[in-house]
Amino acid sequence: MLGQAEYIWLDGEQPTQQLRSKTRILPLPDNRAVDLSMLPEWSFDGSSTYQAAGDDSDLTLTPVAVTPDPIRGKGNVLVLCEVTTGDGTPHSSNTRAQLRRVLDAGAGSEEAWVGFEQEYTLFRDERPLGFPERGFPAPQGPFYCGVGVDRVYGREFVETHTMACIEAGLMIYGTNAEVMPGQWEFQIGYRGIEDESADPINASDHLILARWLLRRLGEQFGLDPRFDPKPARGDWNGAGAHTNFSTRSMREPGSGIHAIRRAMHRLGATHDTHIACYGHGLEHRLTGQHETCEIGQFRGGVADRSASIRIPRHVERRGGGYFEDRRPGANCDPYLVCTALLTTIRAHESAVDGLAKAG
């Protein structure tokens, strides 16, 4: 049977890479049975995606993950791709390959699990959904996890996106209406279901595919989902991508909390490195207001939503689990966020190992 394979990749736009995709018609079996070996590499014009000069424009899409396509339905697939150059090496915009290198160089042994809380804002006619043509909606307060036509905007769209993620087999964990009208969140990654892997690559891949579905379904609803970290200036919440993170040693009940505290200490020392790769325009969101810590400061805390890193109350009580990095912006690159977290935490762990050996 012939089916449609949607090849999806991240382009080279600066300061924030954007999603691109194009469609290939291929002989495909029933979509659950499609594997990567059935999906050929495919070239594209890198000079039209800020990834190459016009006189040397051929780049390659290398399929790295495949899921059923919930929009076109049975027999069709979504194909996430890495961008490679003519000789097969990763293109400079290919941050997924960087994360792979860090994992292959040893970080894979941490057995990290990741869960992202992706916030976004629905725009229509250049304003957030629920914002009147002139002036502003009522002050924030009633909207977060609200219900009812006077406080919730875009629910049908959100329901459609959630169902699409489930049908595509993505690890979507939950959704909620956010603090600002027209703002929503979905969580994706670790959800404690057997046989699923929320390793950094897989969780990040799922986030990218879920973002693509958001943008694609927005076309059908006439809605423009944006990942701007501060879509409305003033007394309105920004949009982030809280990153929940654990290693095997952090998850150990009783002793895990010590691994988490050691990691927090190290994260304090590398704060600026993380801020530099957590998304463009972060200074407008990390102001010290609206449940954030000011961008120039680093603070860790239990159950503290004005901290940079929060240890959930239940994690402290159990003596292990995960921490939440509250700094990444909604427009962050999940591969870069995971690379930064693993690098910081590994540097610390190896230093501790070194001390232990020296002692």
User: What is the Cα–Cα distance from 314 to 257, expressed in whole angstroms?
Assistant: 11
Task: Please say which residue, 161 or 242, places its beta carbon nearer to Mn ion.
Answer: 242
Asked if residue 335 binds ligand ADP (CB under 6 A), the reply is no
Beta bridge partners of 20: 9
Beta bridge partners of 84: 60, 90
Minimum CB separation of residue 100 from ligand ADP in Å reads: 20
Q: Which one of 87-95, 183-191, 209-217, 225-233 is the stretch in contact with ligand ADP (CB under 6 A)?
A: 183-191
Going from the C-alpha of 263 to that of each of 133, 180, 282, 354, the distances in angstroms are: 47, 32, 23, 16
Q: Given candidates 68, 189, 225, 238, which one binds ligand ADP under the rule CB under 6 A?
A: 189
Dihedral angle of Cα 58, 62, 68, 70, to the nearest 10 degrees: -30
How deeply is 356 buried, as exposed, middle or buried, from its count of CB atoms within 10 A (0-12, 13-18, 19+)? Answer: exposed
Task: Please say which residue, 110 or 117, places its beta carbon nearer to Mn ion.
Answer: 117
User: What is the Cα–Cα distance from 269 to 193, expressed in whole angstroms?
Assistant: 34
Asked if residue 186 binds ligand ADP (CB under 6 A), the reply is no
If phi over 0 gives left and psi between -120 and 50 gives alpha, with beta otherwise, what is residue 160? alpha
Within 8 A by CB and 6+ apart from 199, the residues are 103, 108, 111, 112, 113, 114
Q: CA 139: distance to chain centroid? A: 28
**Which residue is at the shortest CB distance from ligand ADP?**
115
Minimum CB separation of residue 73 from Mn ion in Å reads: 31
Minimum CB separation of residue 310 from ligand ADP in Å reads: 7
Task: Please say which residue, 116 or 298, places its beta carbon nearer to ligand ADP.
Answer: 116
Asked if residue 290 binds Mn ion (CB under 5 A), the reply is no
Q: Which one of 209-217, 270-278, 316-324, 333-341 is the stretch in contact with ligand ADP (CB under 6 A)?
A: 316-324
Q: Which one of 60-68, 156-164, 241-249, 256-264 is the stretch in contact with Mn ion (CB under 5 A)?
A: 241-249
Task: Please say which residue, 129 or 172, places its beta carbon nearer to ligand ADP.
Answer: 172
User: What is the Cα–Cα distance from 294 to 286, expressed in whole angstroms?
Assistant: 5
User: What is the Cα–Cα distance from 2 to 172, expressed in whole angstroms?
Assistant: 29
235-264 residues near ligand ADP, rule: CB under 6 A: 242, 244-246, 251
Task: Please say which residue, 11 or 185, places its beta carbon nearer to ligand ADP.
Answer: 185
Asked if residue 328 binds ligand ADP (CB under 6 A), the reply is no
Dihedral angle of Cα 329, 112, 198, 65, to the nearest 10 degrees: 90
Asked if residue 173 binds ligand ADP (CB under 6 A), the reply is yes
3-state helix/strand/coil string of 283-294: HHHCCCCCCCCC
Asked if residue 318 binds ligand ADP (CB under 6 A), the reply is no
Q: Given candidates 143, 184, 190, 227, which one binds ligand ADP under the rule CB under 6 A?
A: 190
From 135, 133, 237, select the one nearest 176 (Cα to Cα): 237
Asked if residue 242 binds Mn ion (CB under 5 A), the reply is yes
Beta bridge partners of 44: 59
Q: Which one of 8-16, 147-155, 318-326, 340-348 is the stretch in contact with ligand ADP (CB under 6 A)?
A: 318-326
Q: Which one of 36-44, 75-83, 113-121, 292-300 is the stretch in contact with ligand ADP (CB under 6 A)?
A: 113-121
- The residues that touch Mn ion, with contacts defined as CB under 5 A, are 117, 185, 242
- The residues that touch ligand ADP, with contacts defined as CB under 6 A, are 113-117, 173, 187, 189-191, 242, 244-246, 251, 321-322, 324
